Amino acid sequence: MKYYLLSGMDKNNNYNFYKDIAKRFKKELSDFDTIVYIPTHPDDKEKCIELSKSKIFKNIEINFKKSIVLDYSYNLDDVKKILDKNNLIFLYGGNPYTQMKFIEKYEIRDLIKNKTIISLSAGSINMCKNAICTKDEDFDNSTIYDGMGLVDFSIEPHFNINNKEVLDDLKNFSKTTDIYALEDNAYIIIEDKKVSFYRKNLFNKKW
């Protein structure tokens, strides 16, 4: 079991992985044959096909033989067979609510909890026991809801310390859950019981 919780992608590099995590992925993920994406738009077949053709891994010289994007065209048995067979899962970014609805419908949590999981933004939010989606241009209000519970703390991706309204909401939510606010270039790795924090090689703290 290994979890990579990412906040964002490198806007200055065509929204590819930041160099630190790219270097780590190239070393640690190259032996996997297949990657399974769990999107935030499982009801949009065209977007799912587009995601299956993503070059973010090819751009760091990882060439999976197969990329599978799960969507509502699969039945429960199909999803179970795919997740039983494959050990690298990518919870992609976007709308955390639509992704969580899909996860619950297909009972995905228990099927992936012991696998290698990459999560990005919304995916990282949904990894948490208490999932927090804060107000932005897409969401009118900050909310807290039941996530997958694969990690005990909560994640705030794309953190901007100058956003006072969101900061106030996070302070309020922190009364009931521990929250790690991550700038886009920060990420967390969890392997067994060890939690490690990274940001542009400026720190590496392990608990």
Residue range 2-61, pLDDT digits in tens: 999 999 999 999 999 999 999 999 999 999 999 999 999 999 999 999 999 999 999 999
d(CA 127, CA 117): 10
**At the top level of CATH, which class does the domain 2-206 belong to?**
alpha beta
- pLDDT of 203 reads 44
Q: Is the pLDDT of residue 71 over 80?
A: yes
Give 57: exposed, middle or buried? Use CB within 10 Å, 0-12, 13-18, 19+. Answer: buried
pTM of the model: 0.94
Q: Is the pLDDT of residue 160 over 60?
A: yes
d(CA 170, CA 178): 10
Structural domain spans, the chain = 2-206
Place of tokens 């976007």: 94
